Structure 1
Amino acid sequence: MTGRLANEIVLVTGAARGIGRAVAVKAAEEGAAVGLIDVLADQLTATTAEIAGTGAKAAAAVGDITDEVSVRRAVGQLTDELGGAFTVLVNNAGKNAYADATKMSVAEWDSVFDVDLKGAWLMARQVLPPMIEGRHGAIVNIASIHSQLTTAGMFPYAAAKSGLVGMTRSLALDVAPHNVRVNAVSPGYIATDLLEEFFDTIPGERENALGVHPLGRIGTPENVAEVVCFLASEAAAFVTGANWAVDGGLGVRYA
C-alpha cells in the first residue's frame, strides 16, 4: 500500500470508537501498520477486524493507559505482533469531566488527569526511546478546543487539556534534536459518543452549538483524522510544537 504513512507503524490509543477509530482507519488507508489500544474490548476487536479486512496490517491490545505496567505490556505485545517499533503515536484516549470544584474528590480529580494527561505521558515515555534511537518519529496528542476556550460546567477538563498542550510544547523541544516531532490537535464539536454525553449533560447545548459554528455544522471524526495523519506524516516534516484547531472556526468567533 502507498500513502502518506507508508512504512510507518502507528499506535492509536482510545482506538475502539470515535476519533481514535477514525485515525486508525485513516492511517491504515495511508499505508501504515496500525496498533490499537483501548479498554473497550468488543469495540476494539470490531475496529481492528474492519481494518484488517481491507488488507492492512493491524493488531489490538486491551490496555489501560493510566497504568504503566499495562502500557508496557500493551506496547510490547503490539510491537511483537506488528514486527517493529512504533514510529507514530496518537494519544487520543480521553474522558469528559463535569465536576464542582468545591465538591470534587481528589480521586475524581486524579481520574480525569490520569486519562487526559498522565496517560499521554506514559505512552510517550514507552515509545520514544526507539524513535530517538532511530531519529525518526512523530507524536500527535488529541487535546481540545477547551485547552484555549471553555464553558461552565466542565471542570476540570479544560485544565487537563491545557496541560496536554503544554506537555506537547515541552516535549517537542526536548526531542527535536533527535528528529522526532510532537504536535497537538484541538478538536471542537465532533460527532462522537463523548459529544453526545456532553449534549445530554448540558440542556440546550446541541442547539446552541449548531447556532454558533461559522461553518454551520458539527465536525466528523474523519475531519480530525485527516489532520492527525497529515501531522504524523513527512508532509509535516517542519511542523512541531504546534496546536492545530479543528473546530469549524468556532475558536475565532468573538461571541
Structure 2
Amino acid sequence: MTAVSLSERIVVVTGGANGIGRAVAEVAARDGARVVVVDIDVSAGQYRCDVADGEAVAEVFGRIVQAYGRIDVLVNNAGRNAYFDPVEMTEADWDEVFAVDLKAAWLCAKHALPSMLAQGRGSIVNVASLHSRLTAAGMFPYAAAKSGLVGLTRSLALEVAGRGVRVNAVSPGYTRTAIVQDYLDRSDDPSLERRILDVHPLGRIAEPAEIAEVVCFLASDAASFVTGAEWRVDGGLGARFA
C-alpha cells in the first residue's frame, strides 16, 4: 500500500484559517504539500475570497494557477452553521446557507478542475457533515445543504473519474471547532456537552487534526482507488441508537 504523501502537491484548502481547515493545511504541509489557504478572513488566509461569489472564486483560482502552475488537490472545507425556523426563514437566508455550504463547493471545483483535467490527475475532498445522515432540531436547513454536498460529491466523481480525478467526501461528527462551540454556547442546557460525550462510543469528540488525517489520506495516492465515497469520521456516533 502506498504511504500517505502529498509531496510537492499544490493543495488548496478553503476555509483554511481555522478549525478543520487549518488542521488540514497543517497536516498536508507535514505530508510535503505546498498549501494554499483560501479564506474570507484576510488576516489568516493567503488568498482572501468569498467562496460563494463566482466572480471572486474565478479570479482567485486563476491567480493561484498563475502563481503555482497548477492545482493538484482541492479541499472544500468552507462552511457555516444554520439555526433557522422553517417558517420564519427568508428566501435570502436560505440562499445564503446554500451558497456557502453547497454552491461554493461546486464553484471552487469548477475553477480547480481545468488544471486537474489538463494534467490527467487530481483529487477533490469535500468536507460534509454527519448531518448529511443524522441531524437535530433547531439547525434547519443545515442537513439539507450537507446532504446536497454528499450528492454533489457522487455526481462530480462520476463526471471526472475517466479523466484521472477523484472526488470524495468526509463527514465529521462533533469536532472541537468554533462552529461546534457556537452550537454549545447557544444552548441554555449546562449538561449538553456531557450528554454529547456520553452518546459517543469512543467517549469523546474529535480534535480537528483527526479529521484532517482522513482528508489528507483521501487526497493522496494512498486512496487511489477511492472515489465517489463518503467517509464518516464521527467516533461511532452514527453507528448506534442514541
Residue in 1 that maps onto 2:52: 66
Residue in 2 that maps onto 1:130: 115
Question: Which of 183, 188, 191 is residue 203 of structure 1 equivalent to?
Answer: 188
User: Normalization by structure 1: what TM-score?
Assistant: 0.91
Is the counterpart of residue 172 in structure 1 residue 173 in structure 2? no
Aligned residues: 238
Q: Partners of 1:118 and 1:28 in 2: how far apart?
A: 27
Question: Which of 213, 216, 229 is residue 203 of structure 2 equivalent to?
Answer: 216
User: Is the Cα contact below 8 Å between 2:12 and 2:71 reproduced in 1?
Assistant: yes
User: Is the Cα contact below 8 Å between 1:191 and 1:221 reproduced in 2?
Assistant: yes
Using the TM superposition, give the Cα deviation of residue 22 of structure 1 relative to its aligned residue in structure 2, in angstroms. Answer: 0.4
Using the TM superposition, give the Cα deviation of residue 243 of structure 1 relative to its aligned residue in structure 2, in angstroms. Answer: 0.3
Is the counterpart of residue 80 in structure 1 residue 66 in structure 2? yes
Using the TM superposition, give the Cα deviation of residue 3 of structure 1 relative to its aligned residue in structure 2, in angstroms. Answer: 6.2
Deviations 1:196-223 (A, max 9, x none): 0011123333222111111011101100
Q: Partners of 2:112 and 2:239 in 1: how far apart?
A: 35
Q: Partners of 1:7 and 1:16 in 2: how far apart?
A: 21
Q: Which runs of 5+ in 2 are unaligned?
A: none
SS of 1:77's equivalent in the other structure is helix
User: Is the Cα contact below 8 Å between 1:3 and 1:29 reproduced in 2?
Assistant: no
Residue in 2 that maps onto 1:246: 233
**Over aligned residue pairs, what C-alpha RMSD do you find?**
1.2
Residue in 2 that maps onto 1:28: 29
Q: Percent identity?
A: 55
Using the TM superposition, give the Cα deviation of residue 194 of structure 1 relative to its aligned residue in structure 2, in angstroms. Answer: 0.3
Question: Which of 95, 100, 105 is residue 80 of structure 2 equivalent to?
Answer: 95
Q: Partners of 2:212 and 2:88 in 1: how far apart?
A: 36
Q: Partners of 2:130 and 2:63 in 1: how far apart?
A: 33
Q: Partners of 2:107 and 2:155 in 1: how far apart?
A: 15
Q: Partners of 1:93 and 1:64 in 2: how far apart?
A: 10
Q: Which runs of 5+ in 1 are unaligned?
A: 45-59
Q: Partners of 1:97 and 1:232 in 2: how far apart?
A: 28
Give the partner amino acid of 1:209.
I
Residue in 2 that maps onto 1:43: 44
